[in-house]
Amino acid sequence: MNYDVLIRGGLIVDGSGKPGYQGDVAVRDGKIAYAGPSGKIDGQDNARVIPAEGLVVCPGLIDAHCHTDMYAKDCPDAEGKIMQGVTTDVCGLCGDSPAPIGQDNLEEYVKRKEYRLPDASPIRPCSFAEYRDWMNRSGNTTNMALFVGNANLRVDAVGYGNRAASPGELDRMKGMLRESMEAGAYGLSTGLTYVPSMFASREELTALSRVIAPFGGIYNSHMRDEADRVQESIQEVIAIARDSGCRGHISHLKASGAANHGKSEMCLELIHRAVDQGVDITFDVYPYTAGSCGLRTLLPPEILELGLEDDYEAMKNPQILGRIRGRLGEADWDNMLKNFGSGNIVVSAAGGNMRYEGKSIREIGESLGVDDAEAVIKVLGDTGANAGIVYHALCEGDLRRFMKDPLCTIGTDAFARSYTGSTAAGKPHPRNYGGFARMIRKYLLDERLLPLEAGIRKMTSLPAEHFGIAGRGLLKSGYEADVMIFDPEKIRETGTFERPAVQPEGIVWVFISGEAAVERGVFRPVRRGRVLGSPVFR
């Protein structure tokens, strides 16, 4: 039997969680043709032979939570992802997806879009099916399993106002969502700390989740609060999944802020109690105690509703600035400045304003002679509200407890980025370039938090199982030949918060559908990735 690629003599960690073994993997026509013990396959004159002695051979990684779609049109090579070993991305998350995008309120949608690239492709109206077909024609390095963001639905049907959707508006959102599910979407996502996603009530989200339930869809939620009200937020996700009959998933589960460290046990108890009662709930985490989001998230919701975040003069108005100052001292909303402290929130991207990048809100305020509130609005004004932050707010104990849980998968929350150009500008979170190398080196190989095989499963077959990504996540005959080969002695994250855009070490080969996208540690621009269809669509 002829093969295209023959990987010989590696430690096969097949993604199932079973013990690894010395073996071979054979690839033919983009599929795994054989994965098993060495000595079972005869020599192949025409096969490309990859010697893998001393290396680990595992399935290509599935990033359980990321935003590759945000820059997919402008960074289709996604070097920062593929050089980590990622071959499939779960995205369209935190309430924001590349489709559907309606015509109504489009101008405001473009204006308010976070993480805008200066050379970004224009945003145009499109259905989910149109976006899927366009991406599959133009090509992308990684595969994408896409959710529909509830913000997309709300922007088109309701706009940015903090009000309930009318029956007609809700029907419009349901129709857009149903059409997207029929075109292959995996479910509905929310970003309930972001405008306008946060303005959706539990009742609205339950009604939308009833649309996705017959498709086997998942309600995938960036919760309303990941700090002081994390308990109530988890309970809301559980209630929506239970009352709608759909599956539920919690994005980047965490207990943020020093006052909430140690709440991981309570979080897991809530989730497992719901599972015991028949509710299908899973979650993911990223392997860092620091997160990242847009700077505008530091402002109270009522200010964001006004759309003034890029207008420094308007926000400097004594009445509005006084309102911001007052609200930054209150705890009845997801108040990151109060929960984390301004010294723990660092500006990571500021549209080329180098004097802000890498400095905390406290440091910026001190340098300008202003308080935290005015420091925030000054940076927003100087960047057109297109600034990002990294916040240091989690604790290792909670992170480790979450990681070990059987319901947990691993994500990066990363974007599609290159090592140069606009996607690498500023100081983006190092998870964009080294999250999975960090997970493997720090938590699996060095700390032995989990056996290597169990940890690899959380990055391969388990997310495939949770999200219904068929034919990927295992080294198994008939599966897509998405394969990662790494050196267990050398693999490590090399980027830092000060210098993040650096290639990790030790990732030797990455194959996507049988074609090498990383060859002997060097990136090769291949476009074998596709927008995948959900199980119902297939």
Tens-digit pLDDT profile for residues 79-108: 999 999 999 999 999 999 999 998 888 888
Report the pLDDT value the prediction gives residue 46, as an integer from 0 to 100: 84
How is residue 289 annotated by DSSP?
S
Report the pLDDT value the prediction gives residue 181, as an integer from 0 to 100: 98
* 170-179 CB contacts, 8 Å cutoff, 24+ apart: 170/204, 170/207, 170/208, 173/208, 174/207, 174/208, 174/211, 176/100, 176/102, 176/148, 176/152, 177/148, 177/153, 177/208, 177/211, 177/212, 178/211, 179/100, 179/127, 179/128, 179/129
Which parts of the chain sit beneath pLDDT 70? Answer: 43-45, 115, 118-119, 538
Q: With H, G, I as helix, E, B as strand and everything else as coil, classify residue 235.
A: helix
Tell which residue, 239, 250, 242, has the closest CA to residue 213: 242
Q: Which pair of structure tokens corresponds to residue 3?
A: 């093969």
Rounded Cα distance between 175 and 25, Å, is 45
Domains of the chain listed by start with CATH number: 5-59+480-523 (2.30.40.10), 61-293+393-467 (3.20.20.140), 297-390 (no CATH)
pTM given for the model: 0.97
32-to-50, 474, 482 alpha-carbon distances in Å: 15, 9, 8
The amino acid at residue 80 is G
In 297-364, where do the E strands start and end? Answer: 345-349
Rounded Cα distance between 388 and 477, Å, is 43
Q: Which pair of structure tokens corresponds to residue 486?
A: 């790494």
